[in-house]
Every structure is written in structure tokens, then in C-alpha cells.
Amino acid sequence: LIAARSAASDPPAAAPGAAGAGAATVERFRLAMPVPPVLAPVSTAGGVDRYAMTMRTATAEILPGLRTEVLTYNGQFPGPTVRARSGRPVVIRQHNALTMPTSVHLHGASVAPSSDGDPMDTVAAGTSRTYRYPNRQPHASLWYHDHAHHMESEHVYRGLSGAYLLRDRTEARLPLPAGAYDVPIAIRDAAFTEDGQFSYAMGDRNRTTMLANGKAYPYFRVAARKYRFRLLNASNMRMLRLRLGDGGPIVQIGTDGGLLARPLTATDVFLSAGERADVVIDFSRYPVGTELVLENTAPPGPADLVGQVLRFDVDRTADDPSEIPAVLRTLPPLPEPTAERSVSMNMKPPQAFMDDKVYDPARVDAHVRYGASEVWTVTNASPEFPHNFHMHLVQFRVLERNGKDPNPSETGLKDTVNLMPGETVKLQATFDAYRGSYVYHCHMLDHSAMGMMATMKIA
């Protein structure tokens, strides 16, 4: 076998003080990375795709040879993938067979408040709830996850998330890699006890084992051709700066809210928690037999300045009719803004604040006029903590980062944007889809669970 040159060829040493089995003792590249199965509808009558899911506990082989107890949608870790089409509604009946309340949020979606999965609008244990997704929005790589207030962090950590891939004609017309060559990959970290169970503590910095689609350091066999990967940072807090072990090119074609205007070739891809990147990797430049590690080079973390995530094993050749067009889409024009406001994010653990206030669901923090297009100036006022900013309901545009142009990778439609300590981002969002209350929050879920969340009311 030809091992591609790697900056991370030596596994990182154990994190000082890391608990339990820890990252250091996990055998790498033993488990195959699964592709989460696409959920089959229970009915497609009347132009609506109807699905049913059950939230329940299950066990999964995350670490080689061990069974870990997980919280799941339909027994799967991560949850099944929903594939939807713009213009065709999806209805999902969620049954909560767990012992605590849940709330299912479709992150990045334009939905009515009653189907948004608001933190306070929970599904009691033993009951069911029907969520309606009209899919009246362009293609996007969305994801669904738990949002029950104060518990979202632990619930998502223990497994309650899955991909929801919405396509439309604009996207379908393009000759991008498709079918078996279009693969969602949810990347996240975790901490384990000695016996291989998840260990969860709010704000834990010892989550040093990396999982891809629910397996620790898996391998993924690929053909020597182009693949499209829908990368999701499904971590609670960890930032990812992903690169190939040989420093080879990764072509980013999309962001949270769908395709970029033009493809962007880079050697790394940055994702804070909750963000997505749609990328194409061309394995045809590697001989069959190449093993190529996907690495995370983002701080922080004691042992993981350079960390392995998964390994691509190029094991065969294949035809490749796919192409990356030079122009992917025309982004919707930005309307003239009609209002402006500022938001600051800060924390003093164990409390976290939006505009110096802890989340109070009874309070409206931002009154937004229906139809308005607003510019929000969001500042991370924490000198030591990174945050990111996520709004429900809308896909926004990043106008400025620290008074300059945004990073090229954030020039598409976004619903989550990263803010390092002291950073300021200006974004523009248009509120013309639904009236009602929605939250905005830090998507480092331990922070939102500590109260870094607020309510906007569109009326």
C-alpha cells in the first residue's frame, strides 16, 4: 500500500487528564465508515412524502469491539438521512420513546413556528408529534437534531441528529457527483468511559475521540474518481479545520444553504459546530492503494493540534462522468436593508449570555417586522471563548467580517457563522416567510444550553 504523506502520521499522544478509554487507546481505521441509510417514506400520496421516526435508546459499535449506549432516531447512530425535493412537502411523525422530552429542529429550514422544534415546544416522553416541512426553499444540506431546552447539548451529544438533504432543479441540472458518490459525512468528537460508554459533562474539554458517521476513526473505501461529500460539523463545540494528509486540494462547492456561486479550491475547510460544507474531492489523482487521512488541524484541545478523523482508502478505479461546473448558481440578490440591530455574545460559565441576558423563553429580545430585511452586527465579546451565531428560519448572507469582506467560503447562503474572540460579523437576513417566534443562539450547544440564546418575534 502507498501511504500518502501525512502531517499526522503519528497518532497524537493522550490528552493530559483525559478520562477513560480516551482518544489515545482507540485503534484507528478498524471500522468502516457507514453511509447513513436514506429513510423510506411510509406514504407518498397526494404529493407529500410522509415519514415516521421513533426516538429511542439503542447501542452502536462506535469504538471497535465495544457497544455504546446511544440516543437515536429509529435506532440509527447518526439518524437516517432524509432526502427531500424543493416544492414537495415532507411530513415527519416523531414518536418519543425516550424517558425525557425532546424537540426536533430542522436546522436551516424555513418552516412555521409550530414545526420549528422550538426549545420550549417539546414532545413529552411517550407521545408523538407531527412536523411539517413545506420545502419552499432552494436546495440545501440541512440537518435535524434535538433542541429540548437545557438538554439539547446532551441529547445531540448522545446521538440525536441526522442529515436532511434538500435538492432542487438548479442543483439537479449540474453534473456533480451523484448517487453513491454523494455522501453525507457527520464529523464530531466524543469522550468515553473505560467501558466505552459516552461520558458527558457540560463544557467538557476532553472530547478528543473523533467520529465520522458514528464510528471512531473509520476508513472509507473510495474509487479513484470524484466524490461529493456533505460535511457537517456535528460536534457540540469543537471547531474543524479539515485537510487531506497530503495537503491536496479540496473543492468547496457549497455552504449551509446550498451551492456557492462558484467552486472554491482550497487546502482546508473550516467548520464551526453546526456548519456544513459541500465539497468535492477528486481521488483520481491517487493511485489505487493510496491511504489518505482526513485531518483536523483546528485548535483548541490538548492533544489534537493535528488530529486524524478518518481515512480514505482508494481501492479501485471507476468511470467518472461528473464535472464541477465553473458557475454553480446565481445567488439571490440582496434587497435594500430596512433595519439594523446589534447582538453581543458573552459568557461566564456556568452562564452564557446573548446581549448580557440569559435565555428566557417568556421574553422577546428582537421585534422584527414581517417582510423586513435586516442587517445584524454580531460581536463575540468573550475574550477567551469562540462562539458562533445561528438563526432559525432564515438563510442569511455574511456581508462583512471584522469590517472586511467575508471569507470566500462564507459568501453563499449561511445559517451559522463562526466568531472567534473579539470578532464582529455583519449579516443580512430577510424575514418574509413566516410570522411568529424563533430563536437565535450560539451553536456551541453547551453554550446555548447555558443560556446563550434569545427570541425574535416576527410580526
Which residues sit at the interface with ligand C2O, rule CB under 6 A?
A: 105, 107, 145, 147, 274, 390, 392, 439, 441, 443
Whether the CB-CB separation of 386 and 420 falls below 8 Å is answered with yes
State how far the Cα of 117 lies from the Cα of 432, in Å rounded to an integer.
19
Q: Minimum CB separation from ligand C2O for residue 181, in Å?
A: 27
426 binds Cu ion (CB under 5 A): no
Instruction: Choose between 286 and 389: whose C-beta lies nearer to ligand C2O.
Output: 389
Residues 352-391 contacting Cu ion, CB under 5 A: 387
The interface partner of residue 147, options being Cu ion, ligand C2O, none and the CB cut-off 5 to 8 Å by kind, is: ligand C2O
DSSP symbol at 87 = T
Identity of the residue numbered 244:
L
Instruction: Choose between 155 and 311: whose C-beta lies nearer to ligand C2O.
Output: 155
The interface partner of residue 447, options being ligand C2O, Cu ion, none and the CB cut-off 5 to 8 Å by kind, is: Cu ion
> Closest by alpha carbon to 79, among 101, 43, 51?
51
3 state DSSP class of 230: strand
Instruction: Choose between 243 and 276: whose C-beta lies nearer to ligand C2O.
Output: 276
Q: Minimum CB separation from ligand C2O for residue 138, in Å?
A: 19
Q: Minimum CB separation from ligand C2O for residue 201, in Å?
A: 21
Instruction: Choose between 167 and 443: whose C-beta lies nearer to ligand C2O.
Output: 443
Segment holding 200, helix H or strand E: none
State how far the Cα of 197 lies from the Cα of 7, in Å rounded to an integer.
30
- Rounded to 5 degrees, φ, ψ at 41 are -70, 150
The interface partner of residue 230, options being ligand C2O, Cu ion, none and the CB cut-off 5 to 8 Å by kind, is: none
State how far the Cα of 328 lies from the Cα of 309, in Å rounded to an integer.
29
155 binds Cu ion (CB under 5 A): no
Identity of the residue numbered 234:
A
Do β-strands 290-296 and 2-3 pair in parallel, antiparallel, or remain unpaired?
A: parallel
The interface partner of residue 442, options being Cu ion, ligand C2O, none and the CB cut-off 5 to 8 Å by kind, is: Cu ion
The interface partner of residue 139, options being ligand C2O, Cu ion, none and the CB cut-off 5 to 8 Å by kind, is: none
What's the order of all strands across the beta sheet hosting 49-60?
A: 68-73, 49-60, 90-96, 128-133
State how far the Cα of 354 lies from the Cα of 423, in Å rounded to an integer.
15
The interface partner of residue 444, options being Cu ion, ligand C2O, none and the CB cut-off 5 to 8 Å by kind, is: Cu ion
Give the 3-state secondary structure of 263-315.
EEEECEEEECCCCEEEEEEEHHHCCCCEEEEEEECCCCCCCCCCEEEEEEEEE
Instruction: Choose between 223 and 449: whose C-beta lies nearer to ligand C2O.
Output: 449
Instruction: Choose between 219 and 270: whose C-beta lies nearer to ligand C2O.
Output: 270
444 binds Cu ion (CB under 5 A): yes
Question: Minimal CB distance to ligand C2O: which residue?
Answer: 107
The interface partner of residue 228, options being ligand C2O, Cu ion, none and the CB cut-off 5 to 8 Å by kind, is: none
Among 21, 107, 118, 290, binds Cu ion (CB under 5 A): 107
414 binds Cu ion (CB under 5 A): no
State how far the Cα of 143 lies from the Cα of 163, in Å rounded to an integer.
4
The interface partner of residue 145, options being Cu ion, ligand C2O, none and the CB cut-off 5 to 8 Å by kind, is: ligand C2O
453 binds Cu ion (CB under 5 A): no
Whether the CB-CB separation of 234 and 271 falls below 8 Å is answered with no
Instruction: Choose between 107 and 139: whose C-beta lies nearer to ligand C2O.
Output: 107
- All residues at 6 or more sequence positions from 404 whose CB lies less than 8 Å from its CB, including other chains: none
Segment holding 421, helix H or strand E: none
Instruction: Specify the stretch interacting with Cu ion by CB under 5 A; choose among 87-95, 248-256, 324-332, 434-442.
Output: 434-442
Contact positions toward Cu ion, by CB under 5 A?
107, 387, 392, 442, 444, 447
